[in-house]
Structure 1
């Protein structure tokens, strides 16, 4: 898949093969280069990552208290059926992500990243508020699970629009020589929120009794999440629009809808973004989110130990992600991304084998930290790389389509697929096969793409 980046009209014939091209709407349209900067603009990073952080914090908290939520909103004589109903409601958020990505990404490409970011965090706040404040089944009956379903729908819808708009806003504000570092903060914000969510859950279980957790304790993290919404709305309303978006909006009239142009003209770039997201998604859900369940249910490691290991792994991931973004600005995006996928292919099976034969806390920490550090080498370069696949007038939409469909398919069902593999094969190491599948998809995709890290954004 040669990857040519050249200026040519939209109606120019597409080349055969798996070529991924960034097309401008005018053959003479100049490239836009964000001015160099001596220091990081912390305001840009906060504006772009605060919504993403809220989403992943709530995601982690919901996962942590799923059993309590199931009992409160989906009562049943069968505890498994009750928990399944809760996780099904949770999964609605994944199903609505692509829709949100298309609708809100299209809005961002039409009206600007800043306007879209205000809309996404507002919708996210409504969804979180519904979950935090909804009466239980014992109080309002069937309306309780309906409200929970609506809350998750709004969360997923807004999150789907958040990723494309926020990442485009972040990378488009960055100087050309720092796009990798700026983009890495999108993934770092996820990891920080995952870590904070886990620590909040652990703290509440230590401080509150089981009865208090069921009564009101599980709502506390969601209420804490709501506290950052006013801050997010304020900073997002005050910061300037992306300079790249303003540049293209001034020189070019609005053409066909960004969604339509994305799937007709830039479908190869969407497929590339999809393939890159598959590895990051599977890695995140298998190496981080599924690992505590795997450790406790399959290897009989105490839950408290699994939480400690996950916290250590998040720290390793944050460090590797920042290092990857920094390196990608110096040596290009592809090198750390290829290194990550190759490393994961080599170490995943031996590390899981080591863990199954020595299921102890030190080994679990070592294994999970190695796996997440390897993943971080990919994720730190990912955001800038995907942004560079698309021109500004379709960037939010194109990114959102590839990312959200990959997350819906390979992330939303990751736990179920891993559990099914272990059950069918009766092999504790079967979960590794899913992770290796993601590595292969990521490696093949990145190997066939060209690196645009040194070129100005379109």
Structure 2
């Protein structure tokens, strides 16, 4: 399936096509710092969900309390599409740089509310309300961050390096996931349970806030995307990037949605759900699951960078197709091996294999999706497909996997959801045209 561009095709050529500019690390930092903060906070919230539940959602029923905390956490997913639409429109009309300053400011406000909110014992019902507002702002800003930051990143890249530049968006997520897990483990080792309840769980959120001034500074100093500036000089901005996206570029949005389904299910099942699956379903010690997850994050980072590098040489479709085919072939046998031999070495082997395979897809994903859209709707179009897929298939991944295991009474049921994502990713990428060698529109 070729995704056509129907506005300014003949002359909408990227300034990044010449490939004469050197690798710019500043662009990487500017584009990924907000994404890194979001995923760091995502990880530590997951790690300390039980403590947050006690502090902000007290109940005689521990399960109900924890459920309330996870529901509040889930609000961040529900507000992602709204943030993607509103902030994506802003980025396509006023520039990526301006939008990135707005998103990190909103994200900082959300993190700050979570970090410093008084508990239920101190202010009563206003405590969970504040936590809800904090997660709302986090999700809203993250929804706008992904489209704006990825467009900024890939649009700054020379044509022969777009894959490598784009891969750092996913690498930043993995590094933040790894850092968040290590921070959580370190705090549980050095602080007592009482200290964690009193103040320890707030420390990671406070640490996350420290990078906000850096993010604001570097985002205010770096130039606007050359592709956006060139397009703004030659063509008027879209009156409504959202409406134009869904009316004219709906096929590109569906393509981005399908590609994101595989990536988000893989991330949430093979990385985030695996510790819970390993400990609760297979009886593997929690400490072992943390070690395996850290190893898996490293494998994912290496494979993601390799994919971006290779995609610049051979095109995006090849590594992405290989990834989906490998996942379809190895996922079920690996889970059979793990359920039959639930040990730390096997868990490391399984999780590293799955995440490395996923990395082959994710490293090429950002550049590929950027190349589907023209500049005047790129942030909005990307954000719509990505955020709706993450909300539906990522936010509820753990619940769906748990439900499948309970209904089927089959420990292997979790892999079926992962295979579903593989099929969607395979079909989607097979139908799309590779535009990796062409200038950005």
Question: Is the structural similarity TM-score above 0.5?
Answer: yes
Aligned to 1:408: 391
Match of 1:190 among 170, 173, 178: 173
CA contact (8 A) 2:238 2:376 kept: no
Match of 2:13 among 20, 23, 31: 31
CA contact (8 A) 1:340 1:377 kept: yes
Aligned to 2:332: 349
- The alpha carbon displacement at 1:61 in A equals 0.2
Q: How does 1:16-165 map to 2 (within 5 A)?
A: 20-24=3-7, 26=8, 28-34=10-16, 35-37=18-20, 39-165=22-148
- The alpha carbon displacement at 1:40 in A equals 1.8
Is 1:319 paired with 2:302? Answer: yes
- The alpha carbon displacement at 1:39 in A equals 3.6
Question: Which segments of 5 or more consecutive residues in structure 1 lack a partner in the other structure?
Answer: 4-19
Distance 2:354 2:440 in 1: 32
Distance 1:260 1:362 in 2: 51
Tell me: CA distance 1:344–1:216, structure 2 relative to 1, closer, same or farther (3 Å): same
- The alpha carbon displacement at 1:268 in A equals 0.3
Deviates most, 33-42 or 92-101:
33-42
Distance 1:348 1:76 in 2: 39
Distance 1:70 1:456 in 2: 50
Distance 1:281 1:30 in 2: 31
Aligned to 2:438: 455
Match of 1:428, SS state, is coil
Aligned to 2:262: 279
Q: How does 1:224-239 map to 2 (within 5 A)?
A: 224-239=207-222
- The alpha carbon displacement at 1:29 in A equals 2.3
Aligned to 1:265: 248
Aligned to 2:287: 304
CA contact (8 A) 1:33 1:176 kept: no
Distance 1:302 1:200 in 2: 19
Distance 2:147 2:5 in 1: 17
* Moved >2 Å (runs of 4+): 26-30
Distance 1:386 1:374 in 2: 19
Aligned to 1:328: 311
- The alpha carbon displacement at 1:38 in A equals 6.0
Distance 2:9 2:337 in 1: 56
Distance 1:227 1:430 in 2: 41
- The alpha carbon displacement at 1:242 in A equals 0.1
Aligned to 1:16: none
CA contact (8 A) 1:390 1:398 kept: yes
Aligned to 1:6: none
Match of 2:138, SS state, is helix
- The alpha carbon displacement at 1:28 in A equals 4.0
Is 1:375 paired with 2:382? Answer: no
Deviations 1:65-99 (A, max 9, x none): 00000000000000000000000000000000000
Match of 2:227 among 244, 256, 275: 244
Aligned to 2:426: 443
CA contact (8 A) 2:15 2:226 kept: no
Tell me: CA distance 1:27–1:395, structure 2 relative to 1, closer, same or farther (3 Å): closer
Distance 2:14 2:160 in 1: 13
- The alpha carbon displacement at 1:255 in A equals 3.3
Aligned to 1:9: none
Q: How many equivalent pairs are there?
A: 440
Distance 1:255 1:88 in 2: 37
Distance 2:261 2:142 in 1: 17
Distance 1:255 1:347 in 2: 45
